Amino acid sequence: MNTRGLRSQLKDTVPVAGSCPQGSYDVQDTMRGGFYSVKNELLPSQALEHSEKNFQLNQEEMNFSSLRNIQGLHAPLKLQMEYRAARQIQRLPFLPSSNLALDTLRGSNDTIGFEDILNDPAQSEMMGEPHRMVEYKLGLL
């Protein structure tokens, strides 16, 4: 089985530094993955940093458990299947995706957060060649 092709099909975007596979001779592929950063390997410096990074995940787990207690096992399973289907709706890898369907399911389309203002994909520093990014996602590279 081609694990490289399977791994690229599971990812939605081209990986950044630290998460990309090692190239030949165990050297990181800097052209595709970016520069190496020691900060990615450090432990959280603050006790609450881990909790803040996983706030959305913890909130979803609490909502799923309360939904399971109120309506039964089928309700969170159905909602998770809808989330998974909404996550799979993507544009081409070199175009930013708004994830409007996922935001609507989560109920976060009415709120304005940090990522709405300061995380503008049009101002991203990572812009690659469209053909290479599509080939990487399909596992051809």
- Residue 119 maps to a domain: no
Number of domains in the chain: 1
Determine, yes or no, domain membership for 129: yes
pTM for the model stands at 0.55
Range in 17-26, 96-105, 107-116, 123-132 the model is least confident about: 17-26
Residue 137 inside a domain? The answer is yes
39 falls within a domain: no
Q: Which domain holds residue 131?
A: 1-7+52-111+125-141
Would residue 2 count as lying in a domain?
Answer: yes
d(CA 136, CA 14): 7
Determine the average pLDDT of the residues in 80-108. Answer: 86
Query: Which residues share a beta bridge with 22?
Result: 28
